[in-house]
Amino acid sequence: MAKYKTGPSKETEAAAQQTAKATQKSGQTKEQTKLIALGIQKGIEHYKKQQKSKSRELDKKLRNVKKTENQSSSLLQDAKATTHIDSKHSQSIIPWSLLVISWIIFIVYLQFN
């Protein structure tokens, strides 16, 4: 996997040049100012690389958190589905048992009358 180095962006060069000119001392040559601008430019590039790596690490952590969250929510849904089936089963027993009891009471009532 080859990485292509494109060089610094125009904005980085302009910002480095502007900062170097703003901090220029009297009696400083253009070459010295160019060297200072290059140093500032390298510093900006280094800072951008650090921020990119931090951003990548944060994205990885977020993906891991989301993945574990999705897994836990699916487990929770499975548990709810199981409980829902159990409660549905127990809810269906109650009406049938009441029906059977009422028929028994009805038959007992008819026999005594």
- Of the pLDDT bands very low, low, confident and very high (cuts 50, 70, 90), residue 19 is confident
Look at residue 2 and tell me if it is in a domain. no
Whether the Cβ atoms of residue 20 and residue 33 lie closer than 8 Å to each other: yes
Please report the pLDDT score of residue 51 as a whole number: 94
Does residue 8 lie in a domain region? Answer: no
Q: Does residue 98 sit within a domain?
A: yes
Segment 60-80 shows an average pLDDT of 84
Q: In this predicted structure, what is the pLDDT of residue 85?
A: 61
Look at residue 105 and tell me if it is in a domain: yes
Number of domains in the chain: 1
Instruction: Specify if 12 maps to a domain.
Output: no
89 within a domain of the structure (yes/no): yes
- Domain for residue 97, yes or no? yes
Q: Tell me if 11 is assigned to some domain.
A: no
> Which of the two residues, 22 and 103, has the higher pLDDT score?
103
Range of the domain at 96: 29-112
